[in-house]
Amino acid sequence: MSFAYLLGIELKHSYYADGSCPDFAVLPSPETQLFLTNHRCVVKPKASGLDIYVQTDASGNPVIAFDGSNTLNIELCLRNLDFSLFTDLTQLPAGNNVGITYASQISAPVYAQVIITRDFYQVKGEQVAIAFAAKPVRWLYYLLTLANDTNTYSIASNTNPPQYTWSLATGTDAIANELAAQSPGFKVSSFLSDQEIPCQQLGMANVQLKVQGSPNNTVLIDSLPNPSYRNFLQTDVNTAQSIDAIYHILTFMNTPTK
């Protein structure tokens, strides 16, 4: 008994370090599962998609012939409820030689249907890739330092020129005010990125916190942790209108002096 690779679905997501997307269970619809079973096909789910194999004869053709153009309906069932927090839902993947329809609500049991129409009789071992993009947001760092600290701090990528830069906020928002109320003896400084940065699973290398004016602009932290997508807020510091941001809190009990 021989099987050949008929078709695969591979989900990708730029948020994850390895580029794969494990956020969905990828399954044939009940009608498609019956169709595949009747054509001696085996469906093998995997972490970021599925693979379909078909039983073949001695000539390498399907044992049970497909009838010209056939349609498979593959369902993407959401299993990570945080998916919308780090995904750019304004830039959902369109079909690349396939049809993709999305549910009106992210919480729908079947979030998307992938419609694949092919002549499957000539086994080609095709793989369909569907790629999601990470949500772009502003990154906000709150820096808590001792109230009597007179140093000036800065945050920027350690590249030339810097890939991303941050500006010291001239105002406060709800999180900054809450931190100030909870932290007597400290002052709160807010650094907002000057541009949107995609959410990402791992920290971005070489985003540095420096003390300005010290010898060689002393680097306090060489690679700041990336804000978690769970730390989401809307803020209007340094902006004319409210924007989406994610934040991270840094605290220094002892800071260098000039």
Which residue from 56, 3, 54, 51 is spatially nearest to 26, judged by alpha carbons? 51
Does 254 have pLDDT greater than 80?
no
- How big is the chain, counted in residues? 258
Residues 39 and 66 occupy one common structural domain: yes
Rounded (5°) CA angle 132-167-181: 95
Confidence of residue 216 (pLDDT cuts 50, 70, 90): low
Asked whether 169 and 141 are in contact (CB, 8 A), the reply is no
Assess whether 11 and 126 both reside in one domain. Answer: yes
Within a domain: 256: no
pLDDT, average across residues 116-128: 86
**Domain end marker among 80, 110, 132:** 132
Other Cβ atoms less than 10 A from the Cβ of 66: the count is: 19
Question: Is 258 inside a domain boundary?
Answer: no
- Least confident stretch, 112-121, 179-188, 247-256: 247-256
pLDDT recorded at residue 258: 47
Phi and psi angles of residue 150, each rounded to the nearest 5 degrees, phi first = -105, 5
Same domain, 101 and 207: no
Q: What is the mean pLDDT of residues 43-65?
A: 94
Position 174 in a domain: yes
Claim to verify: residue 96 and residue 147 sit in the same structural domain: no
For residues 147 and 165, membership in a common domain is answered with yes
**In the listed set 132, 149, 175, which residue is the last one of a domain according to the structure?**
132
Whether pLDDT at 255 is above 60:
no
pLDDT interval class at 129 (50, 70, 90): very high
Of 122 and 135, the structure prediction assigns the larger pLDDT to 135
Tens-place pLDDT, residues 135-188? 999 999 999 999 998 889 999 998 888 889 999 998 889 999 999 999 999 999
Instruction: Report d(CA 30, CA 42) in Å as an integer.
Output: 14
- Residues in Cβ contact with 54 at an 8 Å cutoff, skipping those fewer than 6 apart: 3, 4, 6, 39, 40, 41, 42, 62, 63, 120, 123
Number of domains within the chain:
2
Q: Is residue 11 part of a domain?
A: yes
Range of 159's domain?
Answer: 136-251
* Residue 49 bridge partners (DSSP): 10, 46
Q: What is the mean pLDDT of residues 113-123?
A: 88
Query: Residue 241 has what pLDDT?
Result: 84
Q: What share of the chain is helix, strand, coil (3-state, %, to 5)?
A: 10, 45, 45
Do 236 and 194 reside in the same domain of the chain? yes
Is residue 199 one of the residues assigned to a domain?
A: yes
* Amino acid 171: pLDDT: 86
DSSP letter at 61 equals S
Residues 86 and 229: their CA atoms lie apart, in Å, by 6
20: which DSSP letter? B
pTM to 2 decimal places: 0.89
**Residue at 105 is within a domain:** yes
What confidence tens digit (pLDDT) does each residue in 62-95 have?
999 998 889 999 999 999 999 999 999 999 998 7
Using alpha carbons, select from 158, 134, 164, 163 the residue that is nearest to residue 17.
Answer: 134
What is the three-class DSSP state of 178? Answer: helix
Question: Is it the case that residue 257 has pLDDT exceeding 70?
Answer: no
The answer to whether residue 13 sits within a structural domain is: yes
Both 117 and 44 in a single domain?
yes
Establish if 184 belongs to a structural domain.
yes
> Which string of DSSP letters, residue by residue, matches 126-141?
EEEEEEE-BPEEEEEE
| 109 and 176 belong to one structural domain | no
- Same domain as 201, residue 127: no
The answer to whether 123 and 4 have CB atoms below 8 angstroms apart is yes
**Percent of the chain having pLDDT more than 90?**
71
> 125 and 7: one domain?
yes
Give the Cα separation of 243 and 140 in Å (integer).
11
- Asked whether residue 108 falls in the same domain as residue 207, the answer is no
Which of 132, 154, 174 delimits the end of a domain?
A: 132
Are 126 and 146 part of one and the same domain?
no
